[in-house]
Chains A and B, each alone.
Chain A
Amino acid sequence: MFAGMDRVIELVRKEVRQLRRDRQMLPFLFVVPVLQLLLFGFAISTDVKHLRVAICDLDSSYTSRTMVRELGASEYFDVASYLASIQEADATLDDGTATIVVVLPRGLERDLLAGRTVSVQVLLDGSDATSATVAMAYLTRFAQQHSARLMEFRRIHQGAAARSVPDIVTETRFWYNPLLASSVFLVPGAMCVIIGMSATIATALAIVREREIGTIEQLIVTPIQPWELMLGKTIPFLGVGLYNVSMVLAANAAVFHVPLRGSIGLLYASSALFLVSSLAVGLLVSTVSRTQQQAILTAFFFLMPNFLLSGFMFPIENMPVPLQWVTTLLPLRYFLVIVRGIFLKGVGIAELADQLWPLAALTLGIMLVAVWRFHKRLD
């Protein structure tokens, strides 16, 4: 047993030395993950704001101009251009100068003063369904507020005899993230994705490379056991992963200030668990690949789902049910809920038990399969 540990330590030392010498690879392990995080945190905003509106004001009256000004003053809409006629609307939507065209009809002011209903036509580029729905909701609300004000105005002009009309105001509060900052959502998530991705790729390539350049035979003829070899190959990358967790936390504290409300200890412990599962996936990939190109293609096949199906960007509850079952096999799915819970909600082990168990079980499962396949490959 002790001799075994010695051999593992020797192997780790060899791996570390090899890594240190590989000048081109080092930045990908140590610098790129943090750069990616900065990219996620800075570049991405999921806010549906500043939608570009083209105005086609056929009335050009005092009332219509006031409406346009108010629309442009809200943070949701930017007036991008003014159209002289509806004929220009098509071209505007086609080339993307604006995604919304608002047509204020001729006679708008006259009709409003006469107490008639005015129909405002809105042409909407629906390609991006999400922003289109949000835009629709904002525009409807805008019209409702305007309507309420106009009715109040009419009431005053009809004299005190007319009674006031009711209205309902929605007070919306956003919890955990009152300003709806995208970084609050993406930084903890990006941390999970990034550390998992580099751990899987690095492990898979490190082993297959050894096989491709033929040095694995040398390792096999030594007294080293398969499990020692596996430990020796994965421990350095576990270290790299935990280092990257710390770097992410540091970058967050320095730049993004996403509140870390829960326990750091729990965060590291669950990160280690998740890293082990990612390393095991890398190991598994290495056992089914002959060349590094095959390894990367296969790893990639595992990694894309992590990006798109884990709930990192798109809510799992919106997916079709069979696909939701598939997502239960992704370790990242649970780890994301854990990390976001610790960061944003400050919840502890009790609340996260439902996520920690499946993560641990999956990790164990993947590890067993990887170990079994690894043995078979070596024998």
Chain B
Amino acid sequence: MKRSRSRTAAILRKELIHIRRDTRSLIIAVLMPVALLIIYGYGVSSDVRNIRMVVVDWCRTRESRALVSSFVQSGYFRIVGGTERYADAQRMLDLGTTRTVLVVPTTFARDLAKGNVTHVQFLVDGSDPTTANVAAGYAEAIVGRVATSAVRQSLARRGQPRPRGVPPIDVRVRVFYNEELRSTNFIIPGLIAIILAMTAALLTSGTIAGERERGTMEQLAASPIQSRELMLGKIGAYSLLAAADVVLVILVGTFWFGVPLRGSVLLLMVASGIFLMAALGLGLLFSARMATQQTALTAAVLSTMVPSILLSGFYFPIRSMPSVIQVLTTLIPARYFMVITRGVFLKGVGWRTLWPQIAMLALLAAVILAGAIRAFRRKL
């Protein structure tokens, strides 16, 4: 037992020397996560503001202008042009000069004054469904507000200066966790999970295939070292590196981007540790199974980058995926880690709420590590 521990320690020391000697990989490994987090923290924003809009105003009255100006004042729309001709507006959608077109009919003001129902048309470029959805939602809400105030005015004209009970139902919204609705607060904790998943898998995926390609594998095979000891030694060395990454990205997230860290830092660290075991283990698994570094590295990039961005719930809700794929997502460690980072950062929840995620992470980490050790034993 004691001897086994000293062999593990020897491997750990050897790997640390490797890491220290390859200065460039070391710098990339430590700085890349931080650089990525900063770039994407700024770049990836799903706040939809200043949506470009073209106005086709056939009514040209005070009322129609008031409608248009409430679009502008909302801050969500920016007018990039006006035209009299419908065909021109279509052309602007084709060219991508604008994303939306608001068409106000000739009878708009007259219908409002008479107390009739009037229609405005809102054309949205649907090629980006998310933005289109948000734009349509905003337009509905703005037009709804204008309609309510039209009702008030119409009642006031009829001698009810302070109409009672209008509107009958009034919605009061209170936003939790992310009070200003900054998309950064949602995206940064998610990005932390993605970036760590990819960096960790990349760090280890080259190591064993690399030993094989350089021919040092025979030396290891000839030594009394066991598969488990080798794996633990390698993981130990790289987890030191990855732990530095964890601390750095959390610091950047909190201090640079001002994402509130409401929950327990200890919980976040423990969860990160378990998550890193899974991610580093995945890299080792590829490294042990694939014959060349080339294949191991490609496999690691393709199998961590795409799934952890697409299937982890980072941006696309897991609930709206087909059920087969929902089952598939349960195998992705980033999925659980993301719930944990978001929970700890934004909601400030603790062990009591997050234990199912932590348990699943631990289970996955154990399975992946066992798989890596077995795959390696067969090669040795």
Contact = CB atoms under 8 A, between A and B. Distances in A.
Interface of A: 22, 24-25, 28, 32, 36, 39-40, 42-50, 52, 93-96, 112, 114-134, 136-141, 143-144, 146-148, 150-151, 154, 163-178, 180-182, 184-185, 201-202, 205-206, 209, 212-213, 291-294, 296-298, 300-301, 303-305, 307-309, 313-315, 317-320, 323, 327, 337, 340-341, 344-345, 347, 351
Given A294-B28, A296-B202, A178 B126 contact: yes
Contacts of A202: 298
B198 interface: yes
A127 B185 contact: yes
Contact of A317 (B40, B50, B134): B50
Interface string B161-200: 0001111111111111111011101100000000000100
B293 A293 contact: yes
A105 to B, nearest CB: 10
B124 A319 contact: no
Nearest to A24: B295
Interface of B: 22, 24-25, 28-29, 32, 36, 39-40, 42-50, 52, 67, 93-96, 111-134, 136-141, 143-144, 146-148, 150-151, 154-155, 158, 164-179, 181-183, 185-186, 198, 202, 206, 210, 213, 290-295, 297-302, 305-307, 309-311, 315-317, 319-322, 325, 339, 342-343, 346-347, 349, 353
Contacts of B117: 166-169
Contacts of B349: 94-95
A323 B42 contact: yes
Given A166-B117, A168-B112, A351-B95, A141 B310 contact: no
Contacts of B301: 201, 296, 300, 303
A195 to B, nearest CB: 13
Contacts of A165: 115, 151, 154-155
Given A123-B176, A166-B147, A172-B140, A39 B43 contact: no
Contact of B94 (A22, A169, A347): A347
Contact of B123 (A114, A175, A293): A175
A319 B44 CA distance: 7
20 contacts: A96-B339, A117-B169, A129-B181, A137-B134, A139-B173, A140-B141, A141-B137, A144-B167, A164-B116, A165-B151, A167-B151, A168-B146, A177-B126, A180-B132, A209-B293, A296-B300, A300-B198, A309-B40, A309-B44, A315-B131
Nearest to B329: A43
B46 A130 contact: yes
A378 to B, nearest CB: 21
A44 B310 contact: yes
Contacts of A123: 174, 176
Name the 6 nearest CB pairs between A and B, nearest first.
A137-B137, A174-B126, A177-B126, A126-B178, A126-B175, A147-B167
B320 A133 contact: no
Contacts of A118: 168-170
Given A43-B316, A163-B115, A296 B143 contact: no
A230 to B, nearest CB: 19
A308 B250 CA distance: 20
A366 B343 CA distance: 43
B84 to A, nearest CB: 19
B111 to A, nearest CB: 7
Given A147-B168, A151-B166, A305 B39 contact: yes
A24 B121 CA distance: 55
Max chain A Cβ within 10 angstroms of own Cβ: one of B298, B322, B349: B298
A205 B173 contact: no
B129 A166 contact: no
Contacts of B24: 294
Contact of A137 (B45, B140, B185): B140
B206 A120 contact: no
Contacts of B165: 114-117
A180 to B, nearest CB: 4
A46 B130 contact: yes
Contacts of A32: 302
B295 A25 contact: yes
A315 B144 contact: no
Contacts of B119: 168-171
A52 B317 CA distance: 12
B147 A167 contact: yes
